[in-house]
């Protein structure tokens, strides 16, 4: 057995310099990003699916042939909204529920992880993923000539959609809190698919069920995206109302999830 000499047997001080605290948050984010990039099950749907389906539906269903530029922008912004929904719902819904059940959450609480570092890293990763996914989508639209949006508008959209990912993080959190690790994947998938269709993201819904959109956070985010892109389409309310509803939904979903987690602990 090799003798091991420890220069300092143990920490004599429990104070954490600010520099190291910032570093801890940065490390949490770095490794969260690495995990995503190494996990195709998360990276591919998040980064590639919006563009894949945009191109597929654009060609198959003739959306790219529409003569009205507003109609083309409508479809594009529908898929951009989809890009904003995906990472939050899956990372928080499925990812976090799994990590909780695998004991990782408990271990990190027992280790001196800085308060909120894991949530910070997950949210930051979602925002970065949304911006990347929107960039890929916009690039495809520009290459195909199916969007006529100014670069500044595209930048504004990327910013809006990145922040707009937060309500979906909260929704994922709530679904994961109720479904647990095993139930989270199917529940999040079903909610996600239903929301994609029932928010009227890609085409206006049939009149009989058109009003259902008001319960979907995706609808409000899509409306905001349409506003930023100067596409006239607001069905209900204006920008303040849409922002307000999304903020209220975020608070509601988070509160319900936290209560549920507290009870489980």
Both tokens of 19, joined, read: 């520099």
Distance set, CA 248 to CA 27, 185, 207 (Å): 31, 25, 27
Q: Which of 18, 67, 111, 232 binds another protein (CB under 8 A)?
A: 111
Based on CB atoms, which residue is closest to another protein, 38 or 206?
38
Indicate whether 262 belongs to the interface with another protein (CB under 8 A): no
Residue 152 lies near another protein (rule: CB under 8 A): no
Residue 256 found at the interface with another protein (CB under 8 A):
no
Query: What DSSP character marks residue 209?
Result: G
Residue 13 CB, nearest distance to another protein (Å)? 6
Distance from C-alpha of 119 to C-alpha of 29, rounded to nearest angstrom: 10
Is residue 2 a contact point for another protein (CB under 8 A)? yes
Residue range at the interface with another protein (CB under 8 A); choices 4-12, 67-75, 148-156, 168-176: 4-12
Nearest Cα residue to 105 out of 11, 176, 163, 19: 176
Per CB under 8 A, does 39 bind another protein?
Answer: yes
136: buried, middle or exposed (CB in 10 Å: 19+, 13-18, 0-12)? middle
Query: If binding is defined by CB under 8 A, does position 28 make contact with another protein?
Result: yes
Among 14, 68, 207, 262, which residue interacts with another protein (rule: CB under 8 A)? Answer: 14
Say whether residue 110 binds another protein (CB under 8 A).
yes
- What is the nearest approach in angstroms of another protein to the Cβ of residue 176? 16
Cα-to-chain-centroid distance, residue 258: 19
Contact of 42 with 96, CB cutoff 8 Å: no
* Tokens describing residue 52: 């894949």
Residue 104 in contact with another protein, rule: CB under 8 A: yes
How many residues of this chain bind another protein (CB under 8 A)? Answer: 36
């Amino acid at each position: 057995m090799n003798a091991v000499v420890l220069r300092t047997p143990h920490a004599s001080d429990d104070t954490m310099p600010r520099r190291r605290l910032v570093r801890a948050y940065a490390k949490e984010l770095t490794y969260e990003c690495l995990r995503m990039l190494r996990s195709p099950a998360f990276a591919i749907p998040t980064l590639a699916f919006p563009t894949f389906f945009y191109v597929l539906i654009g060609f198959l269903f003739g959306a790219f042939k529409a003569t009205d530029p507003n109609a083309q922008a409508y479809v594009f912004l529908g898929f951009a909204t989809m890009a904003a929904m995906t990472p939050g719902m899956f990372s928080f819904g499925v990812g976090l529920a799994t990590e909780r059940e695998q004991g990782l959450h408990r271990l990190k609480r027992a280790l001196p992880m800085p308060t909120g570092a894991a949530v910070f890293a997950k949210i930051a990763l979602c925002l970065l993923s949304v911006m990347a996914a929107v960039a890929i989508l916009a690039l495809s639209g520009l290459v195909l000539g199916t969007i006529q949006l100014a670069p500044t508008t595209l930048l504004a959209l990327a910013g809006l959609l990145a922040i707009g990912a937060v309500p979906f993080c909260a929704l994922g959190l709530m679904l994961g809190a109720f479904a647990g690790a095993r139930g989270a994947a199917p529940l999040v998938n079903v909610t996600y698919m239903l929301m994609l269709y029932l928010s009227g993201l890609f085409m206006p819904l049939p009149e009989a069920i058109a009003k259902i959109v008001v319960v979907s956070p995706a609808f409000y985010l899509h409306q905001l995206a349409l506003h930023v892109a100067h596409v006239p389409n607001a069905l209900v309310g204006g920008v303040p109302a849409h922002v307000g509803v999304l903020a209220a939904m975020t608070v509601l979903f988070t509160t319900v999830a936290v209560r549920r987690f507290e009870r489980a602990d």
